[in-house]
Amino acid sequence: MITTDVIPSMGAILEADDYGMVVTALKTALELDVFEIIADGHQNLEEIAQAAGCNARGMSVLLDALCAKDLLGKSHGSYYLSLTSETYLVRSGHGYCVPIFLAWFQAREKFINFVETGKATLDLTLPEAEEIWASYASPDRVRLPELVGAAHKRWADSGIPSRIYPGAHILDIGCGSGFKGFTLLQMDSAAHITCIDSTKVLEITKEVAELMGVSSRVFFQDGNVEREFPQNTFDVVLFGNLLHYFDPSSATGILQKAYRALKPGGILVIYSKAVDEERKEDAALLSMIDVSNCAPHGQHFTFSEYKSMLEAAGFRDAEQSKAFLISAVK
């Protein structure tokens, strides 16, 4: 029984209720290919329901819920794609991202199995996940101005660019769309970068390089993040949100390869936030649901854990900037 005068908040419970309904509506629509059906020209309820093989009344509930979240529009009984769904939720959209979000939504339904067994539902570290990761990078082409602005600020706040020699050669491992590294190129007109990722992801990376005006200073290499890299070649090695998909031993092994790739005095940067040391306060802990359930050894690391792995790989002077970038020196 509550005896205090303070009324406990229902915030997280009510938030889960609200967001849960949104996720249910979107996941159902993606599984039924509703957005593609409408993009193909089916606009009235009966046509959409028939094309999806669904009950008309049930479909009407779904479509109206999507309208309430601006994922669809409705006029005189006809449904049409909103700008958001046209951009991100149909295959012709420039920011098409359905594979990654549907994978997450479906895996979350099985999270209880992970909790009970410790076994991940998916393994996004496998080569077969290439299309999923391409869909993860795809929206960056659309959101590029805001992403680049945030990256410029984060780099500036970290102080790391001032420690990098002009004309640096950068290695971006698991580069994704590449905007983080390309922002460094915009800050140093003599720098150049080698981007490593899978073939389908690099198609997006090349487009982003063009959009950011740096493509003439970018080298693209199709490859696995656990490959060997040219030794004593790079001034900077950059990791994004990558190492947390590996166990500490494997992550240390990847860091050792990065160490060998750096020139003496070179800098390694992990463009990823470490969680708090006690694992109890950071909002990023929620994303552990996806990280752990989508890779056999996925886990978020604290700064102390990153530091230990960096030192085991041979690095020194590991630190975390106020911009939450982690750096170390060879």
Q: Give the model's confidence band at 227: pLDDT under 50 very low, under 70 low, under 90 confident, else very high.
A: confident
Q: Which residues have C-beta within 8 Å of that of residue 56, sequence separation ≥ 6?
A: 45, 46, 49
pLDDT over 80 at 53, yes or no: yes
pLDDT tens digits, residue range 164-176?
999 999 999 999 9
Which segment of 1-10, 52-61, 238-247 scores lowest on mean pLDDT?
1-10
pLDDT over 90 at 7, yes or no: no
Tokens representing 137 are 């990078």
Q: Give the model's confidence band at 224: pLDDT under 50 very low, under 70 low, under 90 confident, else very high.
A: confident
Would you say domain 11-93 falls under CATH 3.30.565.10?
A: no
For the residues 217-235, what does the mean pLDDT come to?
A: 90
Range(s) for CATH 3.40.50.150 in the chain?
A: 135-329
pLDDT of amino acid 3: 60
Mean pLDDT of the chain: 95
CATH of the domain spanning 135-329: 3.40.50.150
pLDDT of amino acid 273: 86
Percent of all residues in the chain with a pLDDT value above 90, rounded to a whole number: 93
Range(s) for CATH 1.10.10.10 in the chain?
A: 11-93
3-state secondary structure 9-62: CCHHHHHHHHHHHHHHHHHHHHHCCHHHHHHCCCCEHHHHHHHHCCCHHHHHHH
pLDDT over 60 at 2, yes or no: no
Pairwise CA distance, residues 289 & 280, whole Å: 14
